[in-house]
């Protein structure tokens, strides 16, 4: 079975999305090369426990800025999923050096290695942050794949993560065109759902804070949500479907924060929810119609929230009442 599907590489295999993607690929009969910073680190132990991992998963020590380490991991693969991305912890004194350059250089290193190995297709995980910040987009128009965050606007408003994702994704698609490499990008929004990894990722932490920490004031902004398992399915579709091309927005639900808190309160009444919500500016809705036309389906928000909370309870991150 594994021989039929072939061998693929997943960068950032130990992360939140990467772990679920590795699990899905193994379940579908792929052999997987996963890149992690340290294969021996306990935080990657969950990968070795996945079904079929013992025979079909090989972990490689790799760094996005170390080309030779990426080349070694991608060697022998027919497809690559570039999931890893530099995410800063805390303030970024020098965003150009610490965030933007590594995001671009890391992505280009992966793509150059893919060109050298001659892989069939590369799926690059971008973000809706590469779509959302465009002040010239018509107010009454739903944002689709034609909408790109404005780099200069990101810079002026100091939205450095948005800038890093926008620059890296645009460079990836440009590289693919210039070098005859089949590059498809997927732009997930706020990703929720159960965790496979032992370390808590940023989007899960956001939901945990609402459930556990009793945030006093929360901005009542419109958020777009997608389940981590549906995100993995979207990435696999983008890889397997011959007709997939360009970029794909990956979002399934949108809701204001006040409504999300109320929904959680109705399901789990014993937690300490935010008391006050500040007004937020009007925000435009995103469309994942292009991805759905490729055959993508998604879970209900209720199911995602139930499975998320169960996962946090099992990990001892929130109380079980």
DSSP-assigned states of every residue in 237-302 = HHHH-TT--EEEEE--EEEEHHHHHHHHHHH-TTS----EEE-----PPB--HHHHHTT-----HH
Nearest Cα residue to 304 out of 197, 144, 188, 190: 190
Q: Cα–Cα distance between 121 and 238 in angstroms, integer?
A: 9
Per the annotation, the verdict on 320 as an active-site residue is: no
Nearest Cα residue to 20 out of 109, 164, 125: 125
pLDDT in tens, 95-130: 888 889 889 999 999 999 999 999 999 999 999 999
pLDDT in tens, 225-243: 999 999 999 999 999 999 9
pTM comes to: 0.94
**Residue 319 pLDDT level (bands cut at 50, 70, 90):** confident
Q: Which of 52, 165, 258, 290 is catalytic?
A: 165
Query: How much is the pLDDT for 211?
Result: 87
- Which residue segments constitute the domains of the chain, with CATH numbers given? 2-192+225-252+285-298 (3.40.50.720)
The most confident of the ranges 34-43, 122-131, 276-285 is 122-131
Query: How much is the pLDDT for 4?
Result: 63
pLDDT in tens, 175-226: 999 999 999 999 999 999 999 998 888 888 889 888 887 677 888 999 999 9
**Residue 174 pLDDT level (bands cut at 50, 70, 90):** very high
């Amino acid at each position: 079975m594994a021989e039929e599907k072939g061998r693929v590489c997943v960068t950032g295999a130990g992360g939140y999305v990467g772990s679920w993607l590795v699990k899905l690929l193994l379940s579908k009969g792929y052999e997987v090369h996963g890149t992690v910073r340290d294969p021996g680190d306990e935080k990657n132990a969950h990968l070795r426990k996945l079904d079929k991992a013992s025979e079909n998963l090989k972990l490689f020590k790799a760094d996005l800025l170390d080309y030779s380490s990426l080349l070694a991991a991608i060697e022998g693969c027919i497809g690559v999923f570039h999931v890893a991305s530099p995410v800063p912890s805390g303030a970024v004194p020098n965003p150009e050096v610490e965030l933007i350059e590594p995001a671009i250089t890391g992505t280009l290193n992966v793509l150059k290695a893919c060109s050298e190995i001659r892989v069939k297709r590369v799926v690059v995980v971008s973000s809706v942050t590469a779509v959302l910040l465009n002040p010239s987009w018509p107010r009454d128009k739903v944002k689709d794949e034609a909408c790109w965050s404005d780099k200069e606007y990101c810079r002026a408003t100091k939205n450095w993560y948005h800038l890093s994702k926008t620059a890296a994704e645009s460079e990836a698609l440009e590289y693919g065109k210039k070098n005859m490499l089949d590059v498809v990008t997927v732009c997930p929004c706020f990703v929720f759902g159960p965790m496979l990894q032992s370390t808590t990722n940023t989007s899960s932490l956001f939901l945990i804070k609402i459930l556990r920490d009793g945030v006093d004031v929360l901005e009542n902004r419109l958020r777009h949500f997608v389940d981590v398992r549906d995100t993995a399915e979207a990435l696999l579709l983008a890889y397997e479907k011959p007709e997939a091309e360009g970029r794909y927005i990956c979002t399934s639900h949108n809701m204001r924060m006040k409504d999300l808190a109320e929904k959680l309160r109705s399901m789990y009444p014993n937690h300490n929810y935010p008391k006050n919500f500040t007004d937020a500016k009007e925000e435009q809705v995103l469309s994942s119609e292009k991805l759905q036309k490729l055959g993508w389906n998604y879970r209900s928000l209720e199911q995602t929230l139930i499975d998320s909370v169960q996962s946090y309870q099992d990990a001892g991150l929130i109380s079980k009442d």
